[in-house]
Amino acid sequence: MTKILVVDDEPQILRALRINLKAHGYEVAVAVDGESALRAAAATTPDLVILDLGLPDMDGSEVIEGLRGWTRAPILVLSGRAASNDKIQALDAGADDYVTKPFDIGELLARVRAVTRRRGANEDLPAITIGDSVVDLAAHTVHTGEKEVRLTPTEWQLLEVLLRNPGKLVSQRQLLHEVWGPNYDRETNYLRQYLAQLRRKLETDPSRPAHLLTEPGMGYRYRP
C-alpha cells in the first residue's frame, strides 16, 4: 500500500484528504506543521508527501529542503500561493509537482498517480549517456567522469520527460504541463531557460547540442 504523508495546518483539508486518499487505497499519515512533518517522515518513510507551504512554524520550502537531505520520495505541494515565483522556488527546492488551492480532488488524485508512476518508471530505466555525462534516473545522479553534476529538481523533471521519450518530439505544451502544471501553456521562456542550463551541464558543446535538441516552434527531442 502506498504511504502518503499529508502536511497542512487546516483541519478541514487534512480531514478531506485523509478520507479521499484512504477511499482510494492509500495509507495516510498527517502532520500540522513543519517540525512534526519532518519527524513523521523519518518515522513512517512515506512514498509521497503532500505539503502545504504556509505552515505555522516554518516555510514549506524549508520542509522540502529537509526532506531532500535524505529521501527521494515525491513531494506534491498543495498551496494557496499562486504566484509563479512561489511555484518555481518550491520546484527548485525539490518539489515534484505543485497544485494551488482551492483544488479539485479528482485533479489532485490524478497528480498523485502521475507523480508516483513517474518516479516508479525511472527505477526501470538504465543509465543513459549524454556526451561525457552518465545520467542515472533511478539514483537521481549525473556524473561526468568522477565528478558529480548537480541538477535542480526542475532540471531533473524536464530531463526525465525527454529521456523517457528517446527520439520522439515532445511538444512545448506537454513539457510545460508535465513540469510546471496544466495552467502553463505559454511560458515557453521557461523551457528555453532550463534547456540552456541542461545543455551547459550535459552537452560537450552546448552551442551545438548533439542530444538535447530544439525543434523550432514545436518542442524538444532527446537524441540518443
Nearest residue to 130 (alpha-carbon basis) of 149, 154, 110: 149
Q: What is the pLDDT of residue 124?
A: 58
96 and 22, same domain (yes or no)? yes
Q: Compute the distance between CA of residue 80 and CA of residue 13 in angstroms, rounded to an integer.
A: 12
Q: What is the pLDDT of residue 5?
A: 96
112 and 159, same domain (yes or no)? no
Domain finish residue from 91, 121, 151: 121
Q: What is the pLDDT of residue 13?
A: 93
The phi and psi torsions of 75 (rounded to 5 degrees) equal -120, 120
Domain finish residue from 98, 121, 144: 121
**Strand segments (E) across 59-191:** 75-79, 97-100, 128-130, 133-136, 141-144, 147-148, 169-171
65 and 15, same domain (yes or no)? yes
110 and 53, same domain (yes or no)? yes
75 and 166, same domain (yes or no)? no
Length of the chain: 224
Q: Return the C-alpha cell found at 115.
A: 507523480
Q: What is the pLDDT of residue 12?
A: 94
Domain finish residue from 121, 152, 181: 121
pLDDT digits (tens, 9 = 90+) for 102-132: 888 988 998 898 888 766 655 556 788 888 8
115 and 140, same domain (yes or no)? no
Q: What is the pLDDT of residue 123?
A: 57
DSSP code of residue 54: B
Q: Residue 162 belongs to a domain with what CATH number?
A: 1.10.10.10
Which residue stretches of the chain have pLDDT < 50?
Answer: none
115 and 137, same domain (yes or no)? no
Q: What is the pLDDT of residue 125?
A: 64
129 and 175, same domain (yes or no)? yes
Q: Is the dihedral of CA 199, 205, 207, 211 positive or negative?
A: negative
Q: What is the pLDDT of residue 121?
A: 55
Q: What is the pLDDT of residue 21?
A: 95
48 and 92, same domain (yes or no)? yes
Domain that holds residue 57: 3-121
Q: Residue 47 belongs to a domain with what CATH number?
A: 3.40.50.2300
130 and 114, same domain (yes or no)? no
Count structural domains, the chain. 2
Q: What is the pLDDT of residue 88?
A: 83
131 and 108, same domain (yes or no)? no
The answer to whether 34 and 54 have CB atoms below 8 angstroms apart is: no
pTM of the predicted protein model? 0.62
Q: What is the pLDDT of residue 181?
A: 73
Q: What is the pLDDT of residue 8?
A: 96
103 and 20, same domain (yes or no)? yes
Q: Return the C-alpha cell found at 110.
A: 490524478
Q: Compute the distance between CA of residue 130 and CA of residue 114 in angstroms, rounded to an integer.
A: 26
